[in-house]
Each structure stands twice: as C-alpha cells, then as structure tokens.
Amino acid sequence: MKEFVCIVCPRGCKLRVDSDLYETAVSGNACARGREYAIAEYTNPTRSVTVNIRVRGGTRRVVSAKTERPVSLAKVLPLARLAGKLTVDAPVKAGDVISNSLLGEKIVATSSVAKAENL
C-alpha cells in the first residue's frame, strides 16, 4: 500500500494504491486522471529536472534549464550533479539544447542570456 496526494488539479485528492500480483487498485480519486496519476507514481515515478547552468561571457552568470522530458526518480540527483558541472558560452536562447545526452537526456535552456559586450 502506498499513499499519494494527487497533483493533477488543485483539489488534491488523497490517493491510495493497493497492489498484489494480480491487480492494482486505486482509491480516493475523484476522477480517472487521479487513477492514472497514482498508477504512474506507483509504477514509474518521473520528474522534470530543473537546473542552473554556468554561462561564460554572458550578461548573467547562469541560465535556467531543464530536461526535455520527465526522467525516472533514480536519475534526478545524478543528472542535477552532472548538469551543475556544465558551462555554456553566451549567447544562449530559450530552447537551445545545452547537452544532447547527459545520462541519455537532453538538457534545454528555459531562458536567454545575451553576450556581454565589454568582456
């Protein structure tokens, strides 16, 4: 048995998942989306990883970025640690790919940093 708070909508239903070899039962959900959320959280929880990447020669020292898609929980910390070691050259535009394969995941800028003029 495992319990979750559904984050799909602001109602925040308290979900409970009971599972055995033959079936997975969800209770506490007020709608079908809650059931889908609970089963995904129970079987393969994923998260988007957001990080700040160092910028060389920019008007700001860091640019915000995130994984292109949600990743499994086991990858979150290793990805965040590795992303913290990346440096990108300015200019950076929102949507630019900063890394094509960091632990197999694409890291994409979510903001822009212009090139500094007086460096």
Site for ligand SF4 in 21-50 (CB under 6 A): 29-31, 33-34
- Number of neighbours of residue 95 by Cβ within 10 angstroms: 10
Q: Is 12 in the site for ligand SF4 (CB under 6 A)?
A: yes
**Rounded alpha-carbon distances, angstroms, from residue 17 to 24, 27, 36, 50:** 7, 7, 11, 28
State the nearest-atom distance from the C-beta of 11 to ligand SF4, in Å.
4
Phi then psi for residue 18, to 5 deg, are -115, 130
Residue of minimal CB distance from ligand SF4?
34
Contact region with ligand SF4 (CB under 6 A), list: 10-18, 19-27, 47-55, 73-81: 10-18
Please say which residue, 14 or 47, places its beta carbon nearer to ligand SF4: 14
